[in-house]
Chain A
């Protein structure tokens, strides 16, 4: 086999991995903007960064210091039959699906079970659960605690969601319990409070 054919055949067998360059964008305060490729809009009073990488088709994440330190995620109108974020192993560990008949009490349960399956442990627990107006509908606000897989750093979260028109609208804010959660809680809550459909 000639050198050229050798090189070509090896090159043909090689995988060309193009790096996924999805830029992170600055979100300026003041303007009302749509999030999560949906009709959900928010009006932040302070600046944020929007990550180029999305957790799911109708989801989007904002952060101040990086998603491991603060993570504000929007889910815009997840419809019946869809999951909260992408399945990593749909065959053996399918995530629970949204259902149009879900009650507000089912929203924290959906988040809890999705995280338990995605994290592979039972270390996700829901804390307080309260009624709240959200995006013009009767919603639920809930707190939770969890740990990422392979880590010991404890994390806390707060979610707000509602079922509107048979679709799930949800905003979650998560950060390490140590220092970071409290640091950006007010800013995150302001954004979630401003949510409208």
Chain B
């Protein structure tokens, strides 16, 4: 009975998406609740996932804020429906990178770097729906099987064949290509979730276009070439962002659904965590990428947290011109009237490092006045005195 349901699911999704008319969106496969693993490899993957979840329960990285968790879970349920939603245990991890994961037993994680970069409930739904798609299509397991036989072959090759490097390269390609196909099918089922939800399915493509831009910005910031290509690079586990953006955009246009992306609701829910996630991003030593993320978030105007984060970013890089720019950003934040005390601290330190002791002293004293019990107050006092 269960096997029939899953087989039907696989059959439904196996057909690549081609021009769906608005009234012909294929129905989602019937969902079978309380799925249990049925064979040895699958039980192995579940067991590992169960033990890992024990660790996750205790891990320091998990964000346990009930409001944020309830909000993200609400978006998941609105995207995939209540039945599917109940099978998932969702964890928010404080990791400053764009990622979300799904494991064989229904544990889903989304990272704070993703929450920082997404801009609406629809985009969040696109990411969560994609991850759920992996679970529904039992992808974790097939990936593992394929990877195992690939590495076995490589181990043999390195022993028996003197000049085995060519064989090794193409075998690596083999199991990465398998992952690419899985990612594509998860993308497509994700679009279908969006299509049947109240969110616009165009949101999925939006996400990838921005991620592409950021990857280019990071590369340029590190003095490397920007290289978003159409065909997936040999080692890419995911189709390139451009390829994804393209086929997702095509699928969304074919569906031509509307709906509200709920950008404002998303921003409001993230607001308490935004300064923390921005700080985590700035500390990554990725100037180009961080500038890009900030500029994207500032599309509707530079708010105080964004200006403060930009000041921190430039001050961290610390070249002489950066310090001047940083001082400018802190000042802009201060001029808005709702800047935290740390803005004065940043301004003072940027000026001090830029050899402007007088104005630095004024700013740092203002910081101490506003936050006399700051953790670094004694240290800043010493700096001011000298």
Contact = CB atoms under 8 A, between A and B. Distances in A.
B173 interface: no
A99 interface: yes
B81 to A, nearest CB: 32
A95 B316 CA distance: 12
B281 to A, nearest CB: 9
Given A13-B162, A99-B318, A113-B285, A104 B379 contact: yes
Contact of B379 (A122, A130, A154): A130
Of A102, A121, A123, A128, most buried by chain B (CB within 10 Å of CB) is A121
B112 interface: yes
B348 to A, nearest CB: 10
B349 interface: yes
B310 interface: no
A105 B376 contact: yes
Given A103-B352, A147-B60, A122 B95 contact: yes
Contacts of B352: 103
A138 interface: yes
Contact of A103 (B161, B353, B381): B353
Contacts of B64: none
A77 interface: no
Interface residues of B, number: 36
Contacts of A126: 375
Contacts of A99: 318
Contacts of B284: 113, 116-117
Given A123-B94, A127-B375, A113 B283 contact: yes
Interface in A144-160: 147, 152, 154
B265 interface: no
Interface string A25-49: 0000000000000000000000000
B160 interface: yes
A129 B376 CA distance: 5
B162 A10 contact: yes
A103 B323 CA distance: 13
Contacts of B353: 101-103, 106
A136 interface: no
Contacts of B125: none
B26 interface: no
A12 interface: yes
Contacts of A123: 60-61, 94
Interface string B354-385: 00000000000000000000011011111100
Interface residues of A, number: 36
Interface string A66-106: 00000000000000000000000001001110010111111
Contacts of B378: 129-131
A36 B58 CA distance: 37
Contacts of A102: 318, 353
Interface in B277-299: 280, 283-285
A121 B61 contact: yes
A121 B283 CA distance: 11
Given A96-B285, A105-B349, A154-B60, A121 B379 contact: no
A154 B222 CA distance: 33
Interface string B60-89: 110000000000000000000000000000
The 5 A-B pairs at the shortest CB distance, nearest first, are namely A129-B376, A131-B382, A122-B280, A9-B162, A123-B60
Interface of A: 9-10, 12-14, 91, 94-96, 99, 101-106, 109, 112-113, 116-117, 120-123, 126-131, 138, 140, 147, 152, 154
Given A94-B285, A152-B60, 20 more contacts: A10-B159, A12-B162, A13-B162, A91-B224, A99-B318, A103-B349, A105-B380, A105-B383, A106-B318, A106-B349, A112-B283, A113-B283, A122-B95, A122-B280, A127-B375, A130-B378, A131-B381, A138-B386, A140-B379, A152-B59
